């Protein structure tokens, strides 16, 4: 059963106001056993916009849905043209202070795990280990016919060869790696098939309207059960794929803390929502705990 896409959320109740007090976050991390759940907001400082923030991409862009992608060859042409161009920019993004802080917390044994709703791989690039990619990764491609997995870099090479001279200028880039192009710019972009069976290729990510694999959901539920607390970083929790873990933690009387500048759908389940920029907030917490975040210090810690 596939989830119906949820693109927006409007509060229907009075939510507790945000705070700038980082003590609850520092206290939870100092105790250890913290499970991180991150969203697009943690990657904005790396140049990747979020969906629903002040300048979120949903104000100008409707993400591709699973239903449209599988039903229409034209939709797939439009998606792959935009995504191919976006990948050039998306692939150059680098971890920011927020990602590095999460990795530092993990190295110092304060985290029980990391679940990310992002598909950008920046947590791993910062040094976090055993990251659960709830919505998959843009770095992989899957065939919808035979299930073969392949590298996005290899697909990019094949698309370059099939579309020599494809150099449109995008008006923006979106959290899913999709560049903003007009139909005229997409033109007659050529989509390449699976090299194993000739089937339809799709990025190995969960599109809007598509369900997260059940075994992945259960693994995340297990992580919530085993965690001492849940720390949400940069997610509006609009979609149920992330909100369900907040509800699970709250129902089990586990502390839920949220760092997000705007109100979220999970605020009523949280002890507090810290309304500060993530990079600033997490590096401040790391400093209070005496944990180095910069790359040089991290390298010394690993050695």
Which of the 8 DSSP states describes residue 185? H
Which of the 8 DSSP states describes residue 271? S
Place of tokens 């759908």: 265
Which CA distances in Å does 98 have to 109, 121, 268? 17, 13, 24
Residue positions in the annotated binding site? Answer: 39-59, 117-120, 143, 146, 194, 197, 234-236, 278
Task: Tally DSSP H helices, then E strands, for the chain.
Answer: 11, 9
Helix, strand or coil for residue 113? strand
| Residues contacting 5, CB < 8 A, separation 6+ | 65, 208, 209
Alpha carbon distance 78, 89 (integer Å): 18
Helix, strand or coil for residue 274? strand
- For the residues of 55-98, what is the DSSP string, one character each? T-GGGT-PPPBHHHHHH-HHHHHHHHHHHHHHHHHHTT----HH
Marked catalytic residue, from 61, 99, 123, 135 = 135
Told to judge if 61 belongs to the known catalytic residues of this protein, a careful annotator would answer no
Q: Which of 6, 243, 270 is nearest to 134 (CA)?
A: 243
Q: Which of 218, 284, 291, 274 is nearest to 248 (CA)?
A: 218
Q: Which residues pair with 95 in a beta bridge?
A: none
Alpha carbon distance 287, 281 (integer Å): 10
Burial class (CB in 10 A: 0-12, 13-18, 19+), 292: middle
Residue positions in the annotated binding site for Zn(2+)? Answer: 143, 146, 194, 197
Residue positions in the annotated binding site for NAD(+)? Answer: 39-59, 117-120, 234-236, 278
Positions marked active-site: 135
């Amino acid at each position: 059963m596939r989830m119906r896409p949820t693109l927006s959320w409007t509060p229907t109740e009075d939510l507790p106001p945000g705070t700038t007090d980082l003590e609850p976050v520092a206290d939870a991390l100092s105790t250890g056993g913290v499970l991180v759940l991150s969203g697009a907001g943690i990657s904005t400082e790396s140049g990747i916009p979020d969906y629903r923030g002040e300048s979120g991409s949903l104000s100008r862009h409707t993400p591709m849905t699973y239903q449209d992608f599988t039903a229409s060859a034209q939709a797939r042409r439009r998606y792959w043209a935009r995504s191919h161009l976006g990948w050039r920019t998306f692939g150059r993004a680098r971890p920011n202070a927020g990602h590095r802080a999460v990795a530092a917390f993990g190295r110092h044994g304060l985290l029980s795990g990391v679940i990310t709703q992002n598909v950008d791989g920046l947590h791993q690039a910062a040094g976090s280990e055993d990251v659960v990619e709830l919505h998959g990764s843009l770095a992989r491609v899957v065939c919808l016919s035979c299930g073969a997995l392949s590298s996005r870099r290899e697909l990019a090479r094949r698309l370059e060869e099939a579309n020599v001279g494809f150099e449109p200028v995008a008006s923006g880039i979106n959290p899913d790696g999709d560049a903003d192009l007009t139909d005229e710019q997409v033109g007659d972009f050529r989509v390449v098939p699976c090299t194993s069976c000739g089937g339809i290729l799709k990025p190995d990510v969960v599109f809007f309207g598509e369900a997260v694999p059940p075994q992945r959901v259960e693994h995340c539920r297990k992580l919530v059960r085993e965690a001492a607390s849940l720390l949400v970083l940069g997610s509006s929790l609009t979609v149920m794929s992330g909100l369900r873990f907040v509800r699970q933690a709250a129902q089990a009387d586990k502390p839920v803390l949220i760092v997000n500048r705007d109100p979220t759908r999970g605020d009523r389940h949280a002890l507090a929502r810290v309304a500060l920029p993530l990079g600033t907030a997490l590096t401040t917490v790391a400093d209070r705990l005496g944990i180095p975040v910069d790359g040089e210090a991290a390298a010394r810690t690993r050695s």
